[in-house]
Amino acid sequence: MIDSNSIAQLAGARVTDRNGDKIGTVQQVYVDQTDGHAQFVTVNTGLFGTSESFVPVEDATFSGGDLTVAHDKATVKDAPRIDADGALDEDEEARLYSHYGLGGGTSYGAGDTGTDTVTGVDEGVTASAGHDTSGPDTDEAMTRSEEQLHVGTETTQAGRARLRKYVVTEQQTANVAVSHDEVRLEREPITDANAGAAFDGPALSEEEHEVVLNEERVVVDKEAVPVERVKLGTETVTEQQQVTEDVSHEEIELDGDADVDSAGRGTTPRP
């Protein structure tokens, strides 16, 4: 249980779950009207912290400005959607206790309204109105609020690319010079130079002379050689995208018999 002296320090505290994961920050503290102990806090959750979730502070610990609750982050974010309007009725409280698996709740006696109250975020002043609204329990000023558009980015996987190698067979034509021997009949007359060889041997005879003919043939051989290296790389391309969203804001106007001059001073109309 959170010490009553620490209630005023809870507003704005960082909230972590039982696993140490950050959930958000405390927005409002709801106290039991019977004894004033802290019973629930609202934590900003959702995209950019645009919604508040109720989480019980039973078995929670508060140390060093961090509030550690006894539930996990997913359970807190899935809590019933209840307006953080400064009070909880019995039905809303029962839904929260059921969601968190807690038994019972506040026991109300005769004359009780069945509501818890929320403390102010700055000074811990108990009031029935919210800390940022105007009403009979707040000061003389009225707070004007507006929604602010916060746009961010997140990285998601858009696709995958991979290299795949396969074999393609194609024909190539090359010109190769080849040579071969051909028979050529040569005749020469008898001269003094060759007379000796010509008259050597019998006058008449039968003879055979043989000559070997050679030719070149085309020989084809193939070898695989590396020619280049291919790899995948990425580059980041930045482009502008427009985001359009509706945002709301509050306007404050004077309602009554008094007029307001250009400087914002109230004046009384003349009869």
* Domain ranges across the chain: 4-156
Mean pLDDT computed over 15-38 = 87
Bridge partners of residue 67, in order along the sequence? 15, 62
Instruction: Say yes or no to pLDDT of 149 above 70.
Output: yes
Confidence of residue 178 (pLDDT cuts 50, 70, 90): very high
Q: What is the pTM of this model?
A: 0.40
Mean pLDDT computed over 72-83 = 88
Q: Which two tokens stand for residue 77?
A: 């974010």
Confidence of residue 123 (pLDDT cuts 50, 70, 90): very low
Pick the CATH number of 4-156 from 2.90.10.10, 1.10.260.40, 1.10.630.10, 2.30.30.240: 2.30.30.240
Distance between CA atoms of residues 196 and 90, nearest Å: 145
Distance between CA atoms of residues 80 and 95, nearest Å: 7
Q: Which two tokens stand for residue 57?
A: 């502070």
Distance between CA atoms of residues 238 and 219, nearest Å: 57
Instruction: Say yes or no to pLDDT of 34 above 60.
Output: yes
Q: In this predicted structure, which of 88-102, 125-139, 185-199 has the lowest mean pLDDT?
A: 125-139
Mean pLDDT computed over 234-246 = 91
Confidence of residue 255 (pLDDT cuts 50, 70, 90): confident
- Torsional class of 51: left (φ above 0), alpha (ψ -120 to 50), beta (otherwise): beta
DSSP state of 270: P
122 contact partners, CB below 8 Å, separation of at least 6: 11, 131
Amino acid at 41: V
Q: In this predicted structure, which of 52-56, 74-78, 103-107, 167-171 has the lowest mean pLDDT?
A: 103-107
Q: In this predicted structure, which of 67-76, 203-212, 227-236 has the lowest mean pLDDT?
A: 203-212
pLDDT, tens digit, 9 for 90 and up, residues 2-17:
777 788 888 889 999 9
Beta-carbon-side half-sphere exposure of residue 65 (alpha carbons within 13 Å): 3
Mean pLDDT computed over 25-53 = 80
137 vs 195, residue with greater confidence: 195
Portion of the chain with pLDDT greater than 70, in percent: 77
242 contact partners, CB below 8 Å, separation of at least 6: none
Query: What pLDDT shows up at residue 131?
Result: 43
266 contact partners, CB below 8 Å, separation of at least 6: 254, 258, 259, 260
CA 60 to chain centre: 30
Query: What pLDDT shows up at residue 270?
Result: 52
Mean pLDDT computed over 231-260 = 84
